[in-house]
Amino acid sequence: MTKPDLIVPIYIDTNALLDLLASIENGFSIVEKVTTHRISSAGSEKSALGEAGTEFGVPNVLNLLKVKLGGSLSSKKQQETGEEKETERYHTYGSLLYRLRAFLDDEGLIRRPYESAEDWRAIVPSNFVEIHGLFRPNPLVDSLQRIDRLLGLFEVLSGFTPQVSAQPPSKKGTQDDKKQMKLFRQFVQHVLTDIEAKNTRVFVVDVAGPNQFQAVVLLFADYLRDQTMAEIAHKEYRLLGKVVRKVEQDSDETIDLLRGTALGGVGRESLEQLRNALNQMEQMNFPQVKPEINGPALEIVPVAVYI
């Protein structure tokens, strides 16, 4: 027998989970009444035996009505007693997720595109998929946060920079650099506030397997077991969800990580100009800002993340 694939949920979209189960089962309850019956029996047997006499019946037809006259007689009595017991079984969201996943798997509705290129080609939007990979926070946000921390560090250290030139630096130039740095940092912080909504986070999944690709998912903090997101970031999990977009490897299309933000209409060139300006000002190698994901990639609406 196949061993059960027990799962530990990290993220469950409870609204989607309950809607899917209700659609499958025409409504359901999270409480089940379980009735068990236990029956015991006792009795005696009655039989007819004889040494001589005439045999009545039809031979070779299952020996029906085969009785010998002049024999002894015994009887069989049967008595049954029964016991009935009722219990209530409560489902958790985790057990309901296990139930939904098992149903989808049994019906062959889950595709696993990381297993082979053939599975990838069969994927179309609206398919249920299960992927397995490393969950990374939005790389655009990660880059901007690193820039913000570096700018903060430079602000602190700007007054303690050792003098390596025979000619003292211009005080006006130093003040201008500080002012520029402060303005750049304020800009970066406003961008981060705009990209990171209060209760949502974008994650990019580096899918592991023979057929590697990336997936972009939007997670709601309210559905996470750990709302600080420390538990899910930079760790490997499985994800069950529905595909809403598929980008092939050679496609000119990309998944835009700036979509829906104020910078969405500015363009990636402006971000690159900002990075270049920062590098020229302090001669530092700031991280590259990556505002899009190239194919092969999937955009997925997640139902659950689990291990």
Note down pLDDT in tens along the chain; length 307 residues.
567 788 999 999 999 999 999 888 877 666 666 666 666 555 555 454 444 443 333 344 333 333 333 444 455 555 556 666 666 777 889 999 999 999 999 999 999 999 999 999 999 999 999 999 999 998 888 777 877 887 787 777 766 544 444 555 555 555 666 777 788 788 778 777 777 777 888 999 999 889 999 999 999 999 999 988 899 999 999 999 999 999 999 899 999 887 776 666 565 666 666 666 666 655 555 656 678 899 999 999 999 999 9
Neighbours of 201 (CB within 10 A): 19
Whole-model pTM: value is 0.69
Q: How far apart are CA 94 and CA 146, in angstroms?
A: 36
State both tokens at 48: 């007819």
SS3 45: coil
Helix (H/G/I), strand (E/B), else coil: 221 = helix
Examine residue 153 and state whether it is found in any structural domain, yes or no: yes
19 part of a folded domain: yes
Residue 69 lies in a domain: no
* Structural domain includes residue 80: no
Give the E-state strand segments of 186-296 in sequence order: 200-207, 214-220, 235-247, 255-256, 292-293
Domain residues for the domain of 143 are 1-29+85-159+170-307
* Residue 47 domain flag: no
Q: Which own/partner contact pairs does 3-8 have at CB distance under 8 Å and 24+ positions apart?
A: 6/98, 7/94, 7/97, 7/98, 7/101, 7/238, 7/306, 7/307, 8/94, 8/306, 8/307
- Going by C-alpha positions, the residue among 221, 238, 239 that lies closest to residue 230 is 221
Assess contact for 298 and 129: CB atoms under 8 A. Answer: yes
User: For residue 84, what are its two tokens?
Assistant: 């009935």
Contacts of residue 73, Cβ cutoff 8 Å, sequence gap at least 6: 46, 47, 48
Q: What is the pLDDT of residue 265?
A: 58
Decide if 184 is inside a domain: yes
In a domain, 73, yes or no: no
Domain count, the chain: 1
Residue at token pair 């029956």: 39
Report which residue type is found at 211: N
Determine the distance from the C-alpha atom of residue 61 to the mean position of all C-alpha atoms in its chain, rounded to a whole number: 64
Instruction: Write the CA distances from 269 to 264, 275, 276, 299, integer angstroms.
Output: 11, 10, 10, 24
Q: What is the pLDDT of residue 126?
A: 95
Structure confidence at residue 283 (pLDDT): 53
What pLDDT, on the 0 to 100 scale, is given for residue 215?
A: 97
User: Residue 206: what pLDDT?
Assistant: 96
- 1 in any annotated domain: yes
